[in-house]
């Protein structure tokens, strides 16, 4: 009663002198250890004042070393994607090709991102990327911004602000979060003119809505949903033809924007960028980290005139990408130019892996998990592209249903996420399933280690 409870807590200086804590300092740095110790002691002080008996010194150093270790692991640590979602937004969408990772490391120091080697003058940042996109899509010009949301915004604001843009009611999409097409259009400064119905819009609906104030006809790919049955809306090609006869622009937000057809992996095709260009749109935009399988970026391809106007707009500077993104995107595009995208781009490698090879991996994984003391059964699954592409079609896959006696599936999934590396399994029908289509080299071993550490 008479003793001050704070007296029972050690001084920070004394803790820092302990041999175990000195080892922590040697491994992780004085600043980081002191940072964790200060917040720990502050918490213990308030707890002591509230009447809690302070922990012993060994308990304090154990808690401290746990905190330091957790903080020493970067927030963006390695994760094993056993979810079966190939482009998992929560896990950073597409894993990058090895060539793109190497290019980012090379570019991380000083790099001539905007300097001409022959003259030393300022140069266009995305020059090589533009040349490759011209070859791959048949466009006249191309530019790159932060993501496809920014690309849509730049396209609308630079080309249509202050004027009317006609869109089908069936294409006023919400991509997720705050990205809703009507809101984006309002922000860009253009006036949205809706035509048609949710399920059907006719070319004449667009035609009748054209006024002297009209700047463009906009086509939006309904990436993450499909309208089936009595449904139909003119394609980008029909809109481009109408726009041409009326002296208007035709714009296309492709979303995923495929450079190669999805039929190669047995899925119905997502719209091809080259088809849109060929159909005569003035500009179309798509993501760098969806079906392209590269870094987060928004890519705009179109006519030289449209791209020139977009580059000259102040928003282009606000939305511009860093040298790391440019390096990774350039390296990714080289695989499409070389034709080795199926082997070299992780998304395409995972998607085109033969089912029997996935099954072999699942069988080996189940054996290793059983040996580690877990319950494991090989099960047929469906993997999904993710990121709003091919939303209602699964890719045949094989996984391992796993369980650890005494631990509920949700808790098992939580402990696997908290491990190093973090492992993300799928929870389905009350069971934890590790889908093998999204595992990459070394992932199965990491998964077995993670499960073993939960078993004991
Ligand atoms: C995904 C998507 C976007 C947003 O792209 P991000 O790269 O995620 O910013 C915009 N429009 C459509 C149609 C999309 O599918």
Tell which of 287, 311, 341 closes a domain.
Answer: 341
Question: Within this chain, do residues 300 and 323 fall inside the same structural domain, yes or no?
Answer: yes
Alpha helical stretches, state H, 161-225: 181-188, 203-209
Expressed in angstroms and rounded, the spacing between residue 238 Cα and the centre of ligand 1 is 22
Pairing assessment for the beta strands 191-195 and 179-180 based on DSSP bridges: unpaired
pLDDT value at residue 164: 98
Question: Within this chain, do residues 47 and 143 fall inside the same structural domain, yes or no?
Answer: no
**Can you tell me the distance from the alpha carbon of 195 to that of 204, in angstroms, rounded to the nearest whole number?**
10
Q: How confident is the model at residue 6 (pLDDT cuts 50, 70, 90)?
A: confident
How many CB atoms sit inside 10 A of residue 393's CB? 14
Q: Report how far apart, in Å, the C-alpha atoms of 241 and of each of 157, 190, 210, 235 are.
A: 23, 22, 14, 10
Question: Within this chain, do residues 87 and 112 fall inside the same structural domain, yes or no?
Answer: no
Long-range contact list for 18-27, CB < 8 A, 24+ apart?
18/57, 18/61, 20/61, 20/65, 21/61, 21/64, 21/65, 24/64, 24/65, 24/68, 27/72
pLDDT value at residue 188: 96
CB 437 within 8 A of CB 421: no
pLDDT value at residue 8: 84
CB-neighbour burial class of residue 434 (10 A; exposed 0-12, middle 13-18, buried 19+): buried
Question: Within this chain, do residues 256 and 289 fall inside the same structural domain, yes or no?
Answer: yes
Nearest CA to ligand 1 atom 12: 255
- pLDDT, tens digit (0-9, with 9 covering 90-100), for 194-239: 999 999 999 999 999 999 999 999 999 998 888 888 899 999 999 9
pLDDT value at residue 166: 98
> What SS3 class is residue 167?
strand
> What SS3 class is residue 284?
strand
Task: Please give the number of the atom of ligand 1 that sits closest to the Cα of 254.
Answer: 13
CB 215 within 8 A of CB 160: yes
Question: Within this chain, do residues 198 and 59 fall inside the same structural domain, yes or no?
Answer: no
Q: Report how far apart, in Å, the C-alpha atoms of 436 and of each of 79, 186, 351, 441 are.
A: 14, 43, 11, 11
Task: Please give the number of the atom of ligand 1 that sits closest to the Cα of 288.
Answer: 7
Task: Report the pLDDT averaged over residues 96-113.
Answer: 97
pLDDT value at residue 420: 87
CB 288 within 8 A of CB 297: yes
Q: Is the dihedral of CA 240, 242, 244, 250 positive or negative?
A: negative
CB 328 within 8 A of CB 104: yes
Tell which of 277, 308, 341 closes a domain.
Answer: 341
Task: Please give the number of the atom of ligand 1 that sits closest to the Cα of 297.
Answer: 7
Tell which of 319, 341, 363 closes a domain.
Answer: 341
- Over 80: is that where the pLDDT of 354 sits? yes
**Can you tell me the distance from the alpha carbon of 195 to that of 202, in angstroms, rounded to the nearest whole number?**
9
Indicate whether this model's pTM tops 0.85: yes
Question: Within this chain, do residues 309 and 290 fall inside the same structural domain, yes or no?
Answer: yes
Question: Within this chain, do residues 253 and 155 fall inside the same structural domain, yes or no?
Answer: yes
- pLDDT, tens digit (0-9, with 9 covering 90-100), for 244-256: 999 999 999 999 9
- Over 60: is that where the pLDDT of 428 sits? yes
Question: Within this chain, do residues 331 and 367 fall inside the same structural domain, yes or no?
Answer: no
pLDDT value at residue 16: 95
**Can you tell me the distance from the alpha carbon of 188 to that of 309, in angstroms, rounded to the nearest whole number?**
15
- pLDDT, tens digit (0-9, with 9 covering 90-100), for 149-192: 999 999 999 999 999 999 999 999 998 878 899 999 999 999 99
- pLDDT, tens digit (0-9, with 9 covering 90-100), for 47-83: 999 999 889 999 999 999 999 998 988 889 999 999 9
Domain of 434, in residue numbers = 79-94+348-455
Expressed in angstroms and rounded, the spacing between residue 62 Cα and the centre of ligand 1 is 46
Question: Within this chain, do residues 446 and 325 fall inside the same structural domain, yes or no?
Answer: no
- pLDDT, tens digit (0-9, with 9 covering 90-100), for 41-50: 999 999 999 9
pLDDT value at residue 34: 96
CB 35 within 8 A of CB 67: no
pLDDT value at residue 178: 80
Q: Using a pLDDT cut of 70, give the percent of the chain over it.
A: 99
> What SS3 class is residue 329?
helix
Question: Within this chain, do residues 198 and 219 fall inside the same structural domain, yes or no?
Answer: yes
Query: Helix axis angle, 323-338 relative to 98-107, nearest 10°?
Result: 140
Q: Which protein residues are within 6 Å of ligand 1, measured from CB?
A: 147-149, 152, 173, 175, 179, 220-221, 223, 253, 255-256, 287, 298, 388
Question: Within this chain, do residues 194 and 287 fall inside the same structural domain, yes or no?
Answer: yes
| Average pLDDT of every residue of the chain | 95
Residue 196, domain CATH: 3.40.640.10
- pLDDT, tens digit (0-9, with 9 covering 90-100), for 290-347: 999 999 999 999 999 999 999 999 999 999 999 999 999 999 999 999 999 999 999 9
Indicate the number of domains in the chain: 3
- pLDDT, tens digit (0-9, with 9 covering 90-100), for 310-324: 999 999 999 999 999
Residue 419, domain CATH: 3.90.1150.180
Question: Within this chain, do residues 217 and 296 fall inside the same structural domain, yes or no?
Answer: yes
């Amino acid at each position: 009663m008479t003793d001050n409870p704070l007296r029972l807590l050690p001084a920070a200086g004394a803790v820092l002198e302990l041999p175990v804590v000195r080892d922590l300092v040697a491994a992780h740095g004085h600043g980081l250890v002191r940072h964790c110790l200060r917040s720990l002691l502050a918490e213990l002080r308030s707890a002591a004042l509230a009447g809690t008996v302070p922990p012993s010194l060994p308990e304090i150093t154990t808690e401290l070393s746990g905190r330091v270790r957790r903080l020493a692991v970067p927030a963006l640590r390695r994760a094993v994607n056993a979810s079966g979602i190939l482009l998992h937004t929560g896990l950073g969408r597409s894993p990058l090709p090895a060539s793109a990772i190497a290019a980012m490391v090379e570019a991380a120091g000083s790099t001539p991102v905007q300097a001409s080697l022959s003259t030393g003058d300022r140069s266009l940042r995305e020059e090589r990327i533009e040349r490759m996109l011209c070859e791959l899509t048949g466009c006249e010009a191309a530019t790159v911004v932060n993501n496809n949301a920014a690309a849509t915004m730049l396209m609308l604001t630079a080309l249509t602000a202050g004027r009317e843009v006609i869109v089908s009611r069936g294409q006023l999409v919400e991509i997720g979060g705050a990205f809703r097409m009507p809101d984006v259009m309002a922000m860009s400064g253009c006036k949205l003119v809706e035509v048609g119905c949710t399920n059907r819009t006719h070319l004449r609906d667009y035609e009748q809505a054209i006024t002297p104030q009209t700047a463009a006809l906009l086509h939006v790919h309904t990436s993450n949903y499909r309208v089936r049955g009595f449904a139909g809306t003119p394609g980008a090609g029909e809109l481009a033809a109408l726009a041409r006869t009326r002296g208007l622009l035709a714009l296309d937000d492709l979303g995923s924007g495929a450079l190669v057809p999805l039929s190669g992996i047995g899925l119905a095709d997502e719209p091809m960028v080259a088809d849109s260009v060929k159909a005569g749109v003035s500009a179309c935009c798509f993501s760098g980290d969806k079906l392209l399988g590269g870094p987060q970026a928004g890519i705009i391809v179109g006519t030289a005139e449209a791209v020139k106007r977009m580059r000259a707009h102040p928003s282009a500077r606000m939305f511009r990408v860093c040298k790391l993104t440019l390096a990774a995107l350039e390296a990714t595009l080289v695989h499409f130019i070389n034709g080795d995208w199926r082997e070299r781009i992780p998304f395409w490698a995972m998607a085109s892996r033969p089912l029997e090879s996935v099954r072999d991996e699942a069988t080996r994984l189940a054996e290793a998990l059983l040996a580690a003391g877990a319950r494991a059964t090989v099960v047929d699954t469906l993997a999904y592209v993710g990121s709003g592409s091919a939303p209602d079609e699964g890719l045949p896959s094989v996984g391992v249903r796993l369980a650890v006696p005494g631990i509920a599936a949700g808790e098992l999934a939580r402990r696997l996420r908290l491990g190093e590396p973090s492992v993300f399994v799928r929870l389905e029908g009350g069971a934890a399933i590790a889908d093998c289509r999204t595992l990459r080299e070394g992932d199965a071993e990491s998964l077995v280690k993670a499960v073993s550490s939960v078993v004991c």
